[in-house]
Every structure is written in structure tokens, then in C-alpha cells.
Amino acid sequence: MTPTSNAPLPRGYQLLNYTIVKQLSAGGFSIVYLAHDEEDHPVAIKEYLPNALVLRKEGEIVQATSADKLALFRHGMKCFFEEGKTLAKISHPNVVRVINFFRSNETVYMVMEYERGRTLQKEIQVSQGGVKENMILYVFCHLLNGLREVHLHRLLHLDIKPANIYIRRDGSPVLLDFGSARQALGTAVNKFTPMYTPGFAAPEHYNDRENLGPWSDIYSVGATIFACMSGMAPQAADQRMKEDRYTSVKKLWSGRYSDSLLDIVDWCLKLEHTDRPQSVHALQKALLEVAAEPRGDKSGSLLAGLRNTLSRLGGKGEAK
């Protein structure tokens, strides 16, 4: 049976020193609000509120629906809180900035900078014939710079998809809505709402969670680039493991995109995690080589920007 959806906090509700303006989004794990701080600056607030475990009909206090679910809820809340603490240590232009996190109403809240723009999912929807290669290279080389910083803090994203990549008005990408806390809760209860997005989740999300690593996020990056090209996600990994109907993108879109970029997508989408790029840095180097290929008058400026991105990676180790 589908869990009952939780009631959001009402407009005007005072949450610590933040005033709720409206609900921005809601899912099985959380609700995200637009709010204003005491200086009237907009922020986004994410409320930990898994529908399968707790219920808020009216008022503000969150209540577990059973004693067993209360224990799971508290486990997930601890993971959500720890994720917020880790994200608050990351200051990177391509990673959503966490500026506060706190407990209230028997749950946990994460306060983030409010970004203006639109999701990559929206960009895909309005693109005719797929997102252009130059935009793919620009967005993902910069986004991967942020993802690498996340991995350096021993954190995985685990829910990379077009809806969780925001394109600011200046064209720069930012990585949103981390799924590592959801994944931690998913390991504790099999009947909980799936902690992954079919098509974008790596095979190890399903039955080999001990093998989750940077290569898992890299699979999701490959699936997201696939969606930029095709307008849809590739075949879900659990279905691929039963009957792999994945067709090489090099066969599908050779001539529309460079063969070297298509090779990278196929590389990222290997079912065996050891066959994929093992680090974000390795993937960025491959994308930089694609950007170095002749592509008209604008290639110089694109390549220079990507080289500047990659140059900032020097001297740092890679998360394992």
C-alpha cells in the first residue's frame, strides 16, 4: 500500500529564525521549502520526513507510525544529520551550499543556499535533438569538479540524475539533493521506498551495496549524459543484469556526437563496477581530451575553461 503523504509546514510558519514561504518539492524521503531568514534572504530548507516511517497530519510534530519504524526513523535521522554536517564543510561553486542544520519538531532540517535557474531535466525537455555536445562538456566537467570535492570528503552522492543538477542563470551547474542518507536508511529496511532512481542508479545499488563507491556516482553521470542525448534514462540496471538490452550510444548517435564522447558514456555505463572509470579525476581527464578535439571557432574558449577546471584538481587524493 502506498504510504500516506505528509502534510507540509504551512506558509508563514516560523522554523527557528526562518519563515516558510512555500513548498518547493516533496518526495518519499523529504520535503523542501522556500523560506526567508531574518534578513529576508531566500533559502531552501530540506525536512527529513520519510512517508513510510512517520506521519504528520496536522500541526508540526512528526510522529512515527509504530515502535519499529521509530527506530528506523531515528537511524535515518542520524544519517541525514551526519550528511548535513559533512556537506556544511564543503564550499564549492558546483555543490549546493549547506549553511545550517538543526533539530526541531522531532526531526532534522538542512538549510541550503537557494539557487535560481532550472534543472538539467528542464534543459533536456526544451532541447531539440538532444543537448549540444559543447554544453554537455561544459556542464559535466564543472559538475565533476564539484563531485570530486564531495568524494574527497568521503561522501557519495548516490542520486545523480538530471533533476538533481541545477543550471544557474549564468550557465554554471550545481549538484543538489544528495542521496547517501537515503541509501543508509535503505540498507536497514528492504520494504522501504526505493532509495534509488531506476535508470540512473548503478547495479550495486540493488544487491551489492558493499561495492558502492565513486564508480557508482560515475555510472549515474554516464546515465545522465545518456539522458541529455536521448531525452530518457537508459534501461534500469537491475533489468540489465537480467537481460541487458543496452545499445551502445556509439551505434545510436555516431555523427550527432563525437565518437570519443560516446565511448566515455559507454565506459561509464559498464555493469561491472571495476570496468568503469574508478575516479572522477580519470573521467574528467577523458572529457578534457574530447574538448581538445577540433570543433570550430569556439573550441579554444571551451578547452581553456575545461583546462582551468582540471588544473584546480592537482595535488589532491581521490576518495576510495
- 68 and 141 co-located in one domain: no
Spatial contact of 302 and 137, defined as CB atoms under 8 Å apart? yes
Task: Please give the backbone phi and psi of residue 245, each rounded to the nearest 5 degrees, phi first.
Answer: -110, 15
Spatial contact of 280 and 265, defined as CB atoms under 8 Å apart? no
- Structure-block grid coordinates of residue 57: 497530519
Pairwise CA distance, residues 22 & 36, whole Å? 10
- 138 and 279 co-located in one domain: yes
Domain boundary among 65, 80, 113: 113
Q: Residue 143: what pLDDT?
A: 96
Domain boundary among 91, 113, 135: 113
- Please report, for the domain that includes residue 43, its CATH number: 3.30.200.20
Flag whether 304 is in a domain.
yes
- 225 and 244 co-located in one domain: yes
Closest by CA position to 135, among listed 97, 107, 109, 172 = 172
CA distance between the termini of the chain: 39
List helix spans (H) across 127-268: 133-152, 180-186, 204-207, 214-230, 237-242, 249-253, 259-268
Q: What is the pLDDT of residues 173-198, one digit of tens each?
A: 999 888 765 665 555 544 444 567 89
- 23 and 90 co-located in one domain: yes
Q: How many CB atoms lie within 10 A of CB 46?
A: 25
Q: Is the pLDDT of residue 302 over 60?
A: no
- 255 and 295 co-located in one domain: yes
Q: Which stretch of 181-190, 253-262, 304-313 has the lowest confidence by average pLDDT? A: 304-313
Which residues are 101's β-sheet partners? 110
Q: What is the pLDDT of residues 67-109, one digit of tens each?
A: 888 888 888 888 888 888 888 999 999 999 999 999 999 899 9
Q: Residue 219: what pLDDT?
A: 98
Flag whether 1 is in a domain.
no
Distances (CA, A) of 79 to 64, 105, 182, 281: 17, 17, 8, 27
- 184 and 283 co-located in one domain: yes
- Structure-block grid coordinates of residue 67: 515502535
Q: How confident is the model at residue 312 (pLDDT cuts 50, 70, 90)?
A: very low
- Structure-block grid coordinates of residue 144: 565533476
| Beta carbons within 8 Å of 154's beta carbon, 6+ residues apart | 86, 319
Question: What mean pLDDT do residues 159-165 have?
Answer: 94
Question: What mean pLDDT do residues 41-57 have?
Answer: 90
Pairwise CA distance, residues 170 & 116, whole Å? 10
Pairwise CA distance, residues 296 & 293, whole Å? 9
167 phi-psi bin (left φ>0, alpha ψ -120 to 50, beta other): beta
Total domains present in the chain: 2
Domain boundary among 97, 113, 129: 113
Question: What mean pLDDT do residues 223-244 have?
Answer: 96
Q: What is the mean pLDDT of the chain?
A: 86
Q: Residue 315: what pLDDT?
A: 40
Structure pTM? 0.86
Q: Which domain holds residue 144?
A: 117-311
Pairwise CA distance, residues 88 & 151, whole Å? 14
Pairwise CA distance, residues 124 & 118, whole Å? 11
Q: Is the pLDDT of residue 128 over 90?
A: no
Q: Residue 202: what pLDDT?
A: 96
- 173 and 295 co-located in one domain: yes
- Please report, for the domain that includes residue 197, its CATH number: 1.10.510.10
